[in-house]
Amino acid sequence: MRKVTTGLAAAGLATLGLLAAVPGSAAASAPAPFCESGASTFICDAASTGATTWTITERYIAGGSSTYSMTTAGSFLFQNCTSRSTLRVFYSYVADGVTVTSETGGVNCNPYEWP
């Protein structure tokens, strides 16, 4: 009986080892968005497909910041910004069941005409 129990325990541990070795879906990364600003608005272009969730942190020249998220149907974001604030932007989307998250990009909010 002891040999059977030892054999079952070893088989169980081997099975657990195999299960632990199966890789899960790894997170993928994408390049930072390309962003420009003018007339107190900004536009960003992502390397995404389909619905894109954007996370924006706006740091104000007078101090403080706010962070918010929004989802667009495609790879473009067009949004108002506070004059002369600094924007940090990244995005995420799902491709083939894997969530892809970008590097962080940014731009200064330009209150003047578009470049």
pLDDT tens sequence for the chain (115 residues) = 444 444 434 444 343 343 343 344 456 899 999 999 999 999 999 999 999 999 999 999 889 999 999 999 999 999 999 998 999 999 999 999 999 999 999 999 999 998 7
Q: What is the pLDDT of residue 26?
A: 54
| CATH number of this structure's domain 26-108 | 2.60.40.10
By three-state DSSP, how is residue 2 classified?
A: helix
CA-closest candidate to residue 58, choices 33, 84, 39: 84
Per-residue confidence (pLDDT) for residue 77, from 0 to 100: 98
Predicted confidence at residue 27, as pLDDT, reads 67
pLDDT at 39: 96
Alpha-carbon distance 29 to 35, whole Å? 18
Q: Where are the domains of the chain?
A: 26-108
Contact 39, 113 (CB under 8 A): yes
